[in-house]
Amino acid sequence: MTAQKIPSLDVLVDQYLNYLLVEKGLSKRTLESYSRDLTRYHTFLLNNGVTNVSDSDTPLILKHLIALRDSGLEARTRARHLVALRGFYRFLVQEKMIGRDPARLVELPKISLKLPDVLSVEEVKRLLDSPDPKTPQGARDAAMLEILYAAGLRVSELVNLKFQDVNLEAGYVRVFGKGSKERVVPIGMYAQQKIQNYLDASRKRLLKNLISPYLFVARAGKPMSRQGFWKMLKRYSQKAGLHKKITPHSLRHSFASHLLEGGADLRAVQVMLGHVDISTTQIYTHIARDHLKHMHTKYHPRG
């Protein structure tokens, strides 16, 4: 099928971004990323005398990726560009503006694997044991660290947890992740106990007669900021004697890796992490495989 009379490129891009916002519920940050990538592709097409899209655009897509490479962009960034283009062209096919997806057969650039930082089980224990649960702030911090690791939360999900989102009797937490997508994640006995301790002894003292919908409260009943949690985590990391760079994501990575090392199903971990694409979760399998290889070498009689 050749190019037909369809809306201009900038109108199509706007329609697609609106579709991602309304139908897919993507976050503002993700939409901005898609917008930048598609705007750059739009400029590339115009610079090459192309004013409309077609189902025979495969050579143009390849040429664009080559131009991105020649401009010095890393493979990971070029791969992100291609993901944006694939989604855009799929949308055009779905809306019957073109008959075939020209990006479908274009392969993603090879990306060197960057493994996330992961703490050992012993290091996690030292970190989680570092707050003093006898003080109001310490009880709160202990519960926050424990649930971050217990449920593999993002820091934004943690600080925005509402009081009603945690069910201690059933042992689960309800989380609203990227794009306001809801998921339910089980939490273990340790997290349940530390949250209950915080609720029994500390939350009212921290609120000082104020009312707040948030589970973990800071000043004036407001939730802790992401920056505030980063500072708190850094302080407890130093107290625990952990001499490595630890971020809130370190505990999320450790949550996933420790589950897989223990034999958890990859798709179950994907659901708990809130990953839409299982390929995002698969990076953790490399860590699990390294662990298994180490165990085999250490314990197998002919390892």
Element (DSSP H or E) covering residue 82: helix 75-94
Measured CA to CA, the distance from residue 108 to residue 83 in angstroms comes to 8
Q: Point out which residues pair with 166 in neighbouring strands.
A: 173
Ramachandran assignment for 213, one of left (phi > 0), alpha (psi -120 to 50 degrees), beta (any other): alpha
Query: Is 31 in contact with 14 (CB distance < 8 Å)?
Result: no
Q: Give me the long-range contacts of 122-126 (CB less than 8 A, separation at least 24).
A: 123/240, 123/242, 124/149, 124/251, 124/254, 124/258, 126/240, 126/241, 126/242
Measured CA to CA, the distance from residue 190 to residue 192 in angstroms comes to 5
Residue-level length of the chain: 303
Measured CA to CA, the distance from residue 141 to residue 13 in angstroms comes to 44
Q: Point out which residues pair with 217 in neighbouring strands.
A: 223
Query: Is 214 in contact with 162 (CB distance < 8 Å)?
Result: yes
| Burial of 78: CB neighbours in 10 Å, binned 0-12, 13-18, 19+ | buried
Helical segments of 119-209, H only: 121-128, 136-151, 155-159, 189-201, 203-207
Query: Is 226 in contact with 156 (CB distance < 8 Å)?
Result: yes
Q: Where in the sequence numbering do the catalytic residues fall? A: 154, 178, 249, 252, 275, 284
